[in-house]
Structure 1
Amino acid sequence: MRHFLLSLFIPLAITLSSCDRNNNFVMMAPEEDAALGKQLSEQILSQPEQYQVLDPDEYPESYAYLRNIVQTILESGEVVYKEEFPWKVYIVKDDQTLNAFATPGGYIFVYTGLIKFLEKESDLAGVIGHEIAHADLRHASRQIQKAQGLNFVLSLILGENNNALGEIAAQLAGHLAGLQFSREYEQEADARSVEYLAQTSYPCSAAASFFQKLQQEEKQGRTPTFLSTHPSPENRVKEILAHSQQLGCDTTSTSSGAYQEFQNSLP
């Protein structure tokens, strides 16, 4: 009987101690998210034929502008892992791709095609808020946990598989731009984006206007990469607007010449 009770207690103790700060069951520690993200970013930067990342030293003003958007969202007070993750941002030169993605640990990659496609800074802030939410809610780590199984994650935690992070990074590096999350995760990221932006000067529903613009593209027979890797925006606009109304946050959108200057600064 005692052995039976102990066998029950150990998994229970692991479960109780493995809820993260978003109250989700994630056995990987935030430090492992950051380590995986670092390895992934290094893999991406080493593949210029697939990811043509602009050099920050050559485009300091462009990067400063984009970092300011990221920092504004991080300063909202709503990003749970603001201090634990490095939150680095990169610009990928590809005018044909309307996309952005974030690795675990908050390494954010934004395509020039997306930046030039959008008309307002707030629209871009809505997308970046969505991608920050994926990292902050630890969606990739939760997805890895489901795909690899608890035994794999336990071996990682216990140090029994020292090459695990490198193996995962190698597998993901070539597919991050097309990484697909469940509808539940996408809804969570949409809602969290609203909550982030509600505490900034941006309209909290900014992600909705982005999806509306994507819908227009789809109606014209063009399917942006973002739509091929994310669920249809058909109901997402309604959900974002409904959440904004529920929070009672400002949805007024304004534009400025600064965003056009940012667009023009890119190659």
Structure 2
Amino acid sequence: GGGFNLFTPEQDIQLGQQVAQQIADDPAQFPVLPEKGNEEAYAYIRKIRDKILNTGNVAFKDQFAWEVKIIKDDETLNAFCTPGGHIYVYTGLIKFLDSEDQLAGVMGHEIAHAAQRHSTRQMTKIYGLSALASIATGSAEPGMLEQVALGLINLKFSRTHETEADTYSVIYLCGTDYHANGAAGFFRKMEGQPTPPEFLSTHPNPGNRVENIDAKAKEMNCRGTKSYDAEYQRIKSKL
């Protein structure tokens, strides 16, 4: 679902590597939390990622990177995932949430964008076929791939893709011990914010989001009830 894609999964991987490199090269805009001294937080967030990947419901599980980085920015309520599965979660989002199942829900949503290849579908739509054909065949102007990669970080998903990512978040979490509607907790909480969080600038609300997530979890008869609140608070206090 969600439109035509001119890119191959291999190109999703290449683009993701390009974006990850640009992020690594720009610590002013993307202050990635160093692994050293933050081993526990990284182990924690990777454990959540692994639970989702191990459900067997994530496309390209073995092909894409599924690398997680934490961005040290307490003011920003955001997370994003590049094509090819480089996942970035802001400390602002981690601190805003109440429980592990909520974070798992958001991570599931981000993983879905990469696994369902939403970014490159969206780019196929935006850049037009001729520009993309030249990238796809390697005959583009030098620097074109870098330009495209830069645009990816601020790429706005369609509402259709948002709905699909919400649905997959439930499908993924349904295969774990978490509440499958974990993402609904995040969106419910976000609705109470005086200013719209950064997340919404690239992830537009498709409408009835919370209701649809709750309904999907119910329809799938998901059994998970874990939220690991105490453990979550402990990790939050370390960031």
Tell whether the structures are fold-level matches, with TM greater than 0.5.
Answer: yes
Deviation at 1:171, TM superposition (A): 3.7
Deviation at 1:253, TM superposition (A): 4.7
- Give 3-state SS (helix, strand or coil) of 1:89's partner: strand
Counterpart position of 1:78: 57
Deviation at 1:45, TM superposition (A): 1.2
Root-mean-square deviation (CA), in Å? 1.8
Is 228-237 or 194-203 further displaced after alignment?
Answer: 228-237
Q: Decide whether aligned partners of structure 1 residues 169 and 227 sit closer, same or farther in structure 2, where only a CA change above 3 A counts.
A: closer
Deviation at 1:236, TM superposition (A): 0.2
Deviation sequence 1:79-126 (CA, Å, 0-9, x none): 011111011111111111111011111111100010011110000000
Counterpart position of 2:24: 45
Is 25-34 or 244-253 further displaced after alignment?
Answer: 244-253
Counterpart position of 1:179: 155
Which residue identity lines up with residue 148 of structure 2 in the other structure? I
Deviation at 1:144, TM superposition (A): 1.0
**TM-score (ref. length: structure 1):** 0.83
Counterpart position of 2:217: 244
Deviation at 1:23, TM superposition (A): 9.3
Unaligned runs of 5+ in 2: none
Question: Does the alignment pair 1:138 with 2:117?
Answer: yes
- Give 3-state SS (helix, strand or coil) of 2:216's partner: helix
**TM-score (ref. length: structure 2):** 0.93
Counterpart position of 1:263: 236
Which residue identity lines up with residue 263 of structure 1 in the other structure? K
- Please give the alpha-carbon distance, in whole angstroms, between the structure 1 residues aligned to 2:226 and 2:40: 24
Which 4+ stretches in 1 moved above 6 angstroms?
Answer: none
Q: Which of the residues 104, 107, 114 maps onto 2:93?
A: 114
Q: Which has the higher contact order (CA 8 A, sep 6+)?
A: 2
Unaligned runs of 5+ in 1: 1-21
Which residue identity lines up with residue 205 of structure 1 in the other structure? N
Deviation at 1:227, TM superposition (A): 2.8
Counterpart position of 1:123: 102
Percent identical residues: 47
- Please give the alpha-carbon distance, in whole angstroms, between the structure 2 residues aligned to 1:29 and 1:158: 11
- Please give the alpha-carbon distance, in whole angstroms, between the structure 2 residues aligned to 1:145 and 1:232: 22
- Please give the alpha-carbon distance, in whole angstroms, between the structure 1 residues aligned to 2:35 and 2:105: 23
Aligned 8 A contact 1:203 1:251 in 2: yes
Which residue identity lines up with residue 51 of structure 1 in the other structure? F
Counterpart position of 2:128: 149
Counterpart position of 1:68: 47
Aligned 8 A contact 2:2 2:118 in 1: no
